[in-house]
């Protein structure tokens, strides 16, 4: 009889502690995780020249730093050649690149030998044709894109915003 009673007390105590620990575990395991912002997947951007105008069809583009970006550039002109050049800098850098392109010639895509400030470019594209370029979006900031075919800059330009 005496041992049975001890067993009952033990079982009662054990059961009580199990319930307590279960409750403690429950509260301890409250909401965790969540995690940071999802990284952006690759982006494909279609852009063109605006008919016979010295202009792009889009003057603003957006990307996320580190994102894989594909630019599909369509020349919608019948008569003029165009390219698409993403500049690592603002107006002054764009002007330097455009000036260097004047004498570079079509075979060099109207880009000078020093392309350290060129993030990416679509080669000189004939009317009605489409060319593409893949690149990794640079650090957050604002970048100009231009056409360096002689006489087209500063008319042909736009801004890519990277965040």
Residues near Cu ion (CB under 5 A) are: 82, 147, 149, 152, 156
90 or 154: whose CB is closer to Cu ion?
A: 154
82 or 121: whose CB is closer to Cu ion?
A: 82
- Cα torsion 57, 62, 65, 68: sign: negative
To the nearest whole angstrom, how small is the minimum distance from the Cβ of residue 141 to Cu ion?
24
Residue matched to tokens 């990284």: 39
The 10 Å Cβ neighbour count of residue 87 is: 25
* Beta partners for residue 158, in sequence order: 145
To the nearest whole angstrom, how small is the minimum distance from the Cβ of residue 31 to Cu ion?
54
71 or 156: whose CB is closer to Cu ion?
A: 156
To the nearest whole angstrom, how small is the minimum distance from the Cβ of residue 52 to Cu ion?
11
To the nearest whole angstrom, how small is the minimum distance from the Cβ of residue 68 to Cu ion?
26
Residue sitting closest to Cu ion (CB): 147
Strand (E) positions, the chain? 43-48, 60-63, 68-74, 82-87, 118-125, 130-136, 141-146, 157-162
Could you give phi then psi for residue 102, rounded to 5 degrees? -55, -40
Answer yes or no: are the C-beta atoms of 84 and 147 closer than 8 Å.
yes
55 or 67: whose CB is closer to Cu ion?
A: 55
Calculate the CA 53 to chain-centre distance: 28
To the nearest whole angstrom, how small is the minimum distance from the Cβ of residue 51 to Cu ion?
12
53 or 60: whose CB is closer to Cu ion?
A: 53
């Amino acid at each position: 009889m005496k041992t049975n009673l001890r067993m009952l007390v033990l079982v009662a105590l054990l059961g009580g502690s199990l319930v307590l620990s279960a409750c403690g575990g429950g509260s301890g395991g409250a909401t965790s995780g969540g995690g940071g912002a999802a990284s952006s997947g690759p982006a494909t951007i279609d852009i063109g020249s605006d008919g016979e105008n010295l202009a792009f069809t889009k003057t603003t583009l957006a990307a996320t730093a580190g994102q894989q970006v594909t630019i599909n550039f369509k020349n919608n002109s019948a008569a003029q050649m165009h390219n698409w050049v993403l500049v690592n800098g603002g107006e002054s850098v764009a002007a330097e690149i455009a000036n260097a392109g004047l004498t570079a010639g079509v075979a060099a895509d109207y880009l000078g030998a020093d392309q350290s400030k060129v993030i990416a470019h679509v080669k000189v594209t004939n009317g009605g044709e489409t060319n593409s370029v893949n690149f990794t979006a640079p650090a957050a900031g604002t970048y100009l894109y231009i056409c360096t075919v002689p006489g087209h800059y500063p008319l042909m330009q736009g801004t890519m915003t990277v965040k």
